[in-house]
Amino acid sequence: MDHIVVDLLILISSIVVGIPVPFCFMLAAVYMGVIYFPDFSFLMTIGFRGLNSLTILSIPFFIIAGALMGSAGIAERLTNFANSMLGRMRGGMGAASIVACAIFGAISGTASSAVACYGSIMIPRLEKLGYPRGYSTGMLSCAAVLGQLIPPSVPMILYGWVTQQSVAACFLSTVVPGILTTTIFCVINYVMVGRFPAIKVDDPLTKPERNKMILKATRKGIWSLLMPIIILGGIYGGVTTPTEAAAVAVLYAVIIGFFVHKELKPGIMFRSLKSAATTSGVIVLMLFFVTILGRLYTMQQVPMKIANFLLSTSDNKYVILFMVNIFLVIIGMLMDDLSGTMLAAPLLMPLMLRIGVHPIHFAAILGTNLGLGNVTPPTAPILYLGGRVGGVQVDEYMKPALIYMIFGFIPVIILTTYLPDLSLFLPRLIMGIK
């Protein structure tokens, strides 16, 4: 067990000092391999075998689709549509940004890509309307994490792959928590903007004028709005697998970008594909080493030792779930949503099964807690990335971000953890999950 503790310290300390995450997992895997299996060539086979999965193939496709969305004008039209619905109320543009960011984050694959791409578009736009730049940065950094909950979600794809659960069911498990969190965020924004008198709100429209504006935004954005419908409709209609749906998303984004919106040019597409390829390469490298490390942990019975330790601390299911939540938030603080999912899911699944937590319910618990961890100081990888995108100091965006965390994320985490039906309702209704 001492070697395992050392290995975890190597992993955590290397992440904290800023070593790229794939290499952190590589260092941890090499240490475990050298200690327990000096001739660990067979572990390379395990890593390659782990990547030989059609489910994993969906991840680069969704990342490419997300990159093309930003370049093809799809993200902009999603925002305009949301603004036509909400823009003429107090905080309407902020609420529209939250909703659109959640959708964009879901399709783009990761929270980091959402805040990097969408934040760069919306933060200047919100500033022109009177929103303080620090507030917009904190709000959109938290909203980007919603992409982990709104399907199609790459972390849920990884969770389904690691735990051998239905990816479609994992998608559905986070829908209600995701919608609830988005709604609470919009309410928080409504309350917060009352403190900013400089925010400009357009005069209310008559009902015919409002309907006309919504119709115009819908007409211009209809092809963008159809994208998530086509993806999810294909999956839940039984027409496509998640991998096939991801490939369709890429093809759809290319067609819409080139021939409908006509904003996607060969040079822009090349840059988008280059960026997506870099991101995908990093993820694949990370998955390779995480697969090896996960197998080594399993061979040394680390998941069972964690389960036994927590069960020895308390035999109360609700106390154990509370401790698991704390553990997941810490994991989310240290690493991004994808690596956090890959590490935490296999480590904690045996414990969840022993205390009677449904694997699909655990998917929602994992997603909500890692989302909070990604924006929780002192490490907060997504929050600090948002700060760099917004070009503001930590003290300017930290307070509004904390408000969204405390009043938005935490209540939803509590409800998701202790009310299983919140996450199991849709999987049971649509897919017949027991």
Provide the token pair at 278.
Answer: 């870099």
CA 258 to CA 45: how far, in whole Å?
Answer: 41
Question: CB of 40 within 8 A of CB of 33?
Answer: yes
Using one digit for the tens of pLDDT, what is the confidence trace for 365-411?
Answer: 999 999 898 888 766 778 877 888 888 888 888 899 999 999 999 99
Q: How far is CA 107 from CA 36, 70, 403, in A?
A: 40, 11, 26
Using one digit for the tens of pLDDT, what is the confidence trace for 68-94?
Answer: 776 777 767 777 777 777 666 777 788
Residue 376 neighbours by CB under 8 Å, 6+ apart: 329, 332, 333, 383, 405
> 39: helix, coil or strand?
coil
Q: What is the mean pLDDT of the chain?
A: 82
CA 246 to CA 73: how far, in whole Å?
Answer: 19
Residue of 313 and 428 predicted with greater confidence: 428
> Could you tell me how many residues make up the chain?
434
Using one digit for the tens of pLDDT, what is the confidence trace for 264-276?
Answer: 888 888 887 887 7
Give the DSSP letter of residue 193: G
Question: CB of 182 within 8 A of CB of 174?
Answer: no
Provide the token pair at 393.
Answer: 């100091």
Map tokens 């035999």 to a residue. 315
CA 53 to CA 49: how far, in whole Å?
Answer: 8
